[in-house]
């Protein structure tokens, strides 16, 4: 049974040329979308002009798309959340241009949970990927939902790290929520729909076009309490997201790197502008007033972690070799390595290798 009010919201957002600002004007003058649609052409025209009033009332133009969206929303795990819904994420109401509707594939509850955005370059270095993964996992284990943009590189690594941890992650798309873009992240798209949430303000089927991404970026920072930039070039989308975040009053965090790495220049520029330099997950958690994650492995078996350090030695070594040397399972070794990495005692290197540094 379709919800007539939801149909009215969808119809308004699908009118060509009717942007967020005009839609909010209609809402403030007429109340709910159904009342705007019932107000008559003359009243609409006085509010938004003749041309737009005509397009709003040309039902045939949007009827097919509205029906398809209602069918989509009816499927298990799908939802369309409007500005009038209780489920609408409160933090998005704080931003200058909150979307009228959000298409969600997955857990709508995640949109209102404490969350941190992690963004960065599509062409990240192996160390950047490793950092994004391990920070996301640590934040996830501390109870934060990880928000990112499902791009290649840092975004994908952040989502994967969150899924490795407690598993809560939200991907905000610059395409329709049903469009798996980029194709190389199709598996991740499915995994997030199943265990996290995919979110978009764009109508179903919207292709991933460049112009959508700056709009999308404001939602990544808008949904989160803060934004961590892992690696970013100067003049990159990640820097735009970070600057939008600062305008939205969100905390901005950045990981430093070599002054000779072009992918650290964006992070350094942010730190110069007042972003907080981050060396460990604890730096961010402390700033957000959150407790450190329960350090179950290290606390319950410090002697085993110590033994692992001895097995590791000072030469780079991978998890398989460490399992052989220690007799521990890969899961346990990985958890301990993460722990030791967060404590600054081992470094993760490209190629899944680890090295003792303290």
Integer Rg of the chain from CA: 23
* Nearest approach, Cβ of residue 167 and a second copy (Å): 25
Both tokens of 259, joined, read 């002054």
Q: Report the 3 state secondary structure along 253-271.
A: EECCCCCCCHHHHHHHHHH
Q: Interface residues for a second copy in 293-352 (CB under 8 A)?
A: 344, 347-348
| Region binding a second copy by CB under 8 A among candidate stretches 95-103, 188-196, 268-276, 329-337 | 268-276
By CB under 8 A, tell whether 279 contacts a second copy: yes
Tokens of 63: 């009827």
Are the C-beta atoms of residues 221 and 241 closer than 8 Å to each other? yes
By the rule CB under 8 A, 357 interacts with a second copy: yes
User: Which uninterrupted H or E stretch holds 200?
Assistant: strand 197-200
**Choice from 115, 264, 334, 339 touching a second copy (CB under 8 A):** 264
Question: CA separation (Å) from 195 to 106, 159, 203?
Answer: 7, 11, 22
Annotate each residue in 111-150 with x if it binds a second copy (CB under 8 A) or - if it does not, as one string: ----------------x---x-------------------
Q: Which is nearer to a second copy, 10 or 267 (CB)?
A: 267
Judged by beta carbon, residue 162 or residue 281, the one nearer a second copy is 281
Instruction: Out of 89, 161, 257, 293, name the contact with a second copy by CB under 8 A.
Output: 257
Task: Return the C-alpha torsion angle 170, 171, 172, 174, nearest 10.
Answer: -170
Q: Is 262 in the site for a second copy (CB under 8 A)?
A: yes
258 or 329: CB nearest a second copy: 258
Structure tokens at 215: 């709009």
Q: In the set 112, 123, 248, 280, which binds a second copy (CB under 8 A)?
A: 280
The CA distance from 324 to 334, in Å, is 13
Selection from 138, 178, 187 nearest residue 158 by Cα? 138
Size of the site for a second copy (CB under 8 A): 25
The residues of the shown chain that bind a second copy, judged by CB under 8 A, are: 127, 131, 255-262, 264-265, 268, 271-272, 276-280, 344, 347-348, 357-358
């Amino acid at each position: 049974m379709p919800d007539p009010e939801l149909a009215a919201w969808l119809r308004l957002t699908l009118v060509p040329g009717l942007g967020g600002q005009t839609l909010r004007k209609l809402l403030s003058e007429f109340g709910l979308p159904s009342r705007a649609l019932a107000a008559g052409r003359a009243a609409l025209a006085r509010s938004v002009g003749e041309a737009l009033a005509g397009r709003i009332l040309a039902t045939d133009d949007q009827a097919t798309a509205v029906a398809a969206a209602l069918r989509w929303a009816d499927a298990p795990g799908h939802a369309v959340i409007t500005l009038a819904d209780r489920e609408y994420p409160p933090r998005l109401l704080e931003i200058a241009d909150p979307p009228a509707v959000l298409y969600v594939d997955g857990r709508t509850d995640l949109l209102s949970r404490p969350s941190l955005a992690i963004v960065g370059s599509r062409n990240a270095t192996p160390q950047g990927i490793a950092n994004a993964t391990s920070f996301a996992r640590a934040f996830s284990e501390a109870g934060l939902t990880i928000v990112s943009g499902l791009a290649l590189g840092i975004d994908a690594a952040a989502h994967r790290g969150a899924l490795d941890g407690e598993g809560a992650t939200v991907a905000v798309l610059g395409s329709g929520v049903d469009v798996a873009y980029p194709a190389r992240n199709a598996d991740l798209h499915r995994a997030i729909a199943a265990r996290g949430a995919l979110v978009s303000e764009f109508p179903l089927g919207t292709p991933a076009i460049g112009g959508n991404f700056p709009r999308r970026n404001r939602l990544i920072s808008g949904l989160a309490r803060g934004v961590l930039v892992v690696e970013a070039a100067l003049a990159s989308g990640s820097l735009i997201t970070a600057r939008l975040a600062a305008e939205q009053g969100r905390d901005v965090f950045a990981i430093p790197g070599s002054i000779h790495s072009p992918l650290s220049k964006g992070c350094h520029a942010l730190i110069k502008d007042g972003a907080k330099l981050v060396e460990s997950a604890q730096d961010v958690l402390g700033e957000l007033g959150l407790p450190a994650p329960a350090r179950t492995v290290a606390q319950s078996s410090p002697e085993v972690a110590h033994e692992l350090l001895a097995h590791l030695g000072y030469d780079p070594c991978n998890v398989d070799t460490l399992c052989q040397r220690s007799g521990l399972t890969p899961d346990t070794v990985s958890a301990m390595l993460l722990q030791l990495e967060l404590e600054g005692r081992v470094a993760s290197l490209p190629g899944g290798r680890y090295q003792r540094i303290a």
